[in-house]
Amino acid sequence: MQGGGCGAFAAVALNLMNRTGTADYAVTGTWSSKAAKEAAKYGKVNLVFPKADKPGSIPDQKTWSMDPNASYVYYCDNETVDGVEFPYIPETNGIPLVSDMSSSIMTKKVDVSKFGIIFGGAQKNIGPAGVVVVIIREDLLGNAMKVCPSVFDFTHIIKENSIHNTPATFSVYVMEKVLQWIKKSGGVDAMQKQSEEKERLLYGTIKQSNSFYHCPIDERVRSRINIPFRVGGKNGNESLEAKFLEEAEKLKMYQLKGHRSVGGIRASLYNAVTLEDVQSLVKFMIEFQKQHSTTHN
Amino acid sequence: MQGGGCGAFAAVALNLMNRTGTADYAVTGTWSSKAAKEAAKYGKVNLVFPKADKPGSIPDQKTWSMDPNASYVYYCDNETVDGVEFPYIPETNGIPLVSDMSSSIMTKKVDVSKFGIIFGGAQKNIGPAGVVVVIIREDLLGNAMKVCPSVFDFTHIIKENSIHNTPATFSVYVMEKVLQWIKKSGGVDAMQKQSEEKERLLYGTIKQSNSFYHCPIDERVRSRINIPFRVGGKNGNESLEAKFLEEAEKLKMYQLKGHRSVGGIRASLYNAVTLEDVQSLVKFMIEFQKQHSTTHN
């Protein structure tokens, strides 16, 4: 479908909320929070745990307060801004499970049969911005709300073979190239293996830095894909972080700045980032620490 | 905004219908018909004249049955499938006027001050598919329906500087190139002059063909941009039309087939089609007629 990942936030509710008028949301960061807010336009949203002031963990599923009457249970598999990733697939006792996999799709194997809907904006691991991939269980079709715009109506989109109107054709074209590239590179298995090697290397470097680098995220739910960390101690040293970014750019390592809402550094290890790229990053990090740790740590 | 032109059909109603709950629609073909159907999800739609069985004309505005209570008056400036274009801007007695200019934008000068909303899918005259340009009068903002998805809420989009979420970045990039190209080529004035020369040449050739070529559209509302015609007489000769398309393709003239709902031939003279291109087309048409008129006319 079109309309970007944020369009899908509304589309999910517009297609599924009709069953009972309520839905369960697990809010673990920026994107699931936006999705819950959007869904509240179309029905009652139950947060299965209170929204944390400072994301960085995911409460144990045993503690979730789930509504047995929910139309669906929603979670964001990986929060790009906050660096939190689900290490498991939530149990829902038969209620359709919806997952925003915009940033994790094609980085790991997933048992698709466990989901009602999986969706993902293409622009992280599949291709350029402008397309959203939606996988929906067939029995969930045919129940969109009356106010659902046709371009967001999954039943209608499937009927029209995904070309209800002209999609972002160039984005679709490149997406095909990227999917072929994944296949040629060994498929999702190879992407997952590479992802694990990359995160092990980066988190390992952070751990061995003796708190010069610090990742604030609960170890059990750390993202393999978006890794936020501070430089110069637990609370970060902003001038040192500015220097870190400046020197990284000299080495052609861009976009390492953390989202403005959380600050610090963020390394995004999407499929297009190679193990060699991460090796270059950690080499730089070790060097940078050598130069600055005596004065700042 | 995103979601394609068809997304804008819903977005217009979702942003404007709230004022009175009703809207006037002038249905002159495929696209305005779809827009009216979409708007009916969000309020009462009044057709200002009955939908024609076979589009091809626009009733005189004096005969329109307009609702003085309408939230807005909607029309499609140019119907790409049906070959009908408004030769004037409708009068609305102060009610906001909404125009789908997807296929005519940047092909002629328009007094923007007369409109409440002008929108256009980029993929005809502005750039690749994936972006919709929306021009909205400021006083119409701030009144979206509660069920309006954020990605369709013009007030929200403006507040977020058109990057509420990641747009189809490549399409936006190319759009800037196309707009620079229009500027360099003499601006909208030059595009309009070229458009007039192109349509005069093609309609002239049809007229001089002594009904070998036939355009079924009322002369007063013929599109300058999408010109449908039949080959081999008033009702068309399908085998001759197949041959016409086949020979045209040999000369590298593609996409001349009429929309499946109307048949025949359709020449789309968007800004990227030059006067020379149309000269090649009419040269071929004259040749083709010479070869086939004795047997078929």
Q: Tell me, what's the ipTM?
A: 0.92
A43 touches chain B (CB under 8 A): no
Sign of the torsion formed by the C-alpha atoms of A172, B83, B67 and B105: positive
Residues A164-216 have pLDDT tens digits of: 888 899 999 999 999 999 999 999 999 999 999 999 999 999 999 999 999 99
Q: What angle do CA A4, A8, A14 make, to 5 degrees?
A: 145
Please give the pLDDT value at position A262: 85
What rounded mean pLDDT belongs to chain B?
94
Arithmetic mean of pLDDT, A274-292: 97
Residue B277 annotated to the active site: no
Cα–Cα distances in Å, from B190 out to A142, A158, B221, B275? Answer: 49, 42, 22, 12
Please give the pLDDT value at position A163: 86
CB atoms < 10 A from the CB of A54, how many?
8
Residues A90-144 have pLDDT tens digits of: 999 999 999 999 999 999 999 999 999 999 988 899 999 999 999 999 999 999 9
A7 touches chain B (CB under 8 A): yes
pLDDT at A284 over 50: yes
* Alpha carbon of B9: minimum distance to chain A alpha carbons (Å): 9
| Residue pair B95/B24 in contact by the 8 Å Cβ criterion | yes
Please give the pLDDT value at position B166: 86
Please give the pLDDT value at position B4: 62
CA A189 to CA B182: how far, in whole Å? 48
CB atoms < 10 A from the CB of B157, how many?
22
Arithmetic mean of pLDDT, B85-113: 97
CA B109 to CA A68: how far, in whole Å? 59
Among candidates A288, A292, A271, which has minimal Cα distance to A124? Answer: A271
Residue A100 annotated to the active site: yes
pLDDT at A296 over 60: no
CA-based max dimension of chain B: 64
Sign of the torsion formed by the C-alpha atoms of B1, B2, B5 and B8: negative
Residue B242: CB partners within 8 Å, gap ≥ 6?
none
Arithmetic mean of pLDDT, A63-85: 97
Sign of the torsion formed by the C-alpha atoms of A163, A164, A169 and A175: negative
Which residues of B fall within a CB distance of 8 Å from A168?
Answer: 128-130, 168, 170-171
pLDDT at B1 over 80: no
Catalytic residue selected from B24, B77, B82, B124: B124
Q: Which is more confident, A294 or B88?
A: B88
pLDDT at A26 over 60: yes
Nearest to A3 among B2, B5, B42 (CB): B2
Report H helices in chain B.
4-16, 30-39, 154-159, 169-184, 187-207, 238-250, 275-296
Closest A-chain CA to B39: A149
A30 touches chain B (CB under 8 A): no
Nearest to B150 among A10, A152, A169 (CB): A10
| Residue pair B129/B4 in contact by the 8 Å Cβ criterion | yes
CA A209 to CA A285: how far, in whole Å? 9
Strands A22-26 and A73-76: parallel
A134 touches chain B (CB under 8 A): no
Q: Could you give the 3-state DSSP secondary structure of residue B286?
A: helix
Structure tokens at B183: 């500027």
Residue A124 annotated to the active site: yes
Please give the pLDDT value at position B297: 44
Among candidates A166, A167, A141, A146, which has minimal Cα distance to A156? Answer: A141
Tell me the whole-structure pTM to 2 decimals: 0.93
Cα–Cα distances in Å, from B267 out to A130, B82, B207, B219? Answer: 29, 12, 15, 16
% of chain A exceeding 70 in pLDDT: 97
pLDDT at B236 over 70: yes
CA A138 to CA A117: how far, in whole Å? 10
Residues B33-72 have pLDDT tens digits of: 999 999 999 999 999 999 887 779 999 999 999 999 999 9
User: What is the phi-psi region of residue B174: left when phi exceeds 0, alpha when psi lies from -120 to 50, beta otherwise?
Assistant: alpha
CB contact under 8 A, B147 and A147: yes
pLDDT at A65 over 90: yes
A147 touches chain B (CB under 8 A): yes
| Residue pair B256/B227 in contact by the 8 Å Cβ criterion | no
Task: Place A293 in a pLDDT band, splitting at 50, 70 and 90.
Answer: confident
Q: Could you give the 3-state DSSP secondary structure of residue A118?
A: strand
DSSP structure class, residue A234: T
